[in-house]
């Protein structure tokens, strides 16, 4: 079970890097849309995050449920925004930067919330 947990954690942390990198690539390219990378990675983060919760619970590991609930809520909002507006190009700045900030705040919460 520990190997599975670590594999999921690697996917989850790697997914975070690719997701935030996807936003960075848009900025570097001077575009402002929810690219296919962003579109798919928000789903991967949601899926691997939920699987991590399951594996941690099955192993009787201590999880901070408030922290997980806040991350889940933020991830739901980002996923909803990205799915609802993925065809818009360019996106209104508030929408693009808002989704970027929310995704980044999930990474900050993961490390800073102790």
CB contact at 8 A, 28 and 112: no
Residue 114 burial (CB count, 10 A)? 5
The yes or no reply on residue 16 touching ligand HEM (CB under 6 A) is yes
The yes or no reply on residue 110 touching ligand HEM (CB under 6 A) is yes
Instruction: Identify the residue among 56, 86, 95, 97 touching ligand HEM (CB under 6 A).
Output: 56
**Is the previous residue joined to 90 through a cis bond, with omega within 30 degrees of 0?**
yes
Q: Helical H runs in 59-92?
A: 65-85
Could you tell me the smallest distance in angstroms from the CB atom of residue 37 to ligand HEM? 13
Instruction: Identify the residue among 38, 75, 91, 99 touching ligand HEM (CB under 6 A).
Output: 75
Q: What is the DSSP letter of 90?
A: S
Applying CB under 6 A, the residues found at the interface with ligand HEM are 12-13, 16, 19, 45-46, 49-50, 52-53, 56, 63, 68, 71-72, 75, 103, 106-107, 110-111
């Amino acid at each position: 079970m520990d190997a599975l947990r670590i594999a999921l954690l690697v996917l989850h942390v790697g997914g975070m890097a690719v997701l935030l990198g996807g936003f960075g690539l848009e900025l570097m390219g001077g575009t402002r849309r929810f690219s296919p990378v962003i579109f798919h990675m928000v789903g991967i983060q949601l899926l691997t995050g939920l699987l991590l919760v399951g594996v941690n619970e099955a192993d009787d590991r201590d999880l901070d449920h408030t922290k997980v609930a806040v991350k889940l809520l933020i991830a739901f909002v980002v996923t909803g925004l990205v799915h609802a507006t993925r065809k818009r190009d360019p996106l209104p700045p508030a929408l693009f930067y808002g989704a970027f900030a929310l995704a980044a705040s999930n990474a900050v919460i993961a490390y800073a919330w102790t």
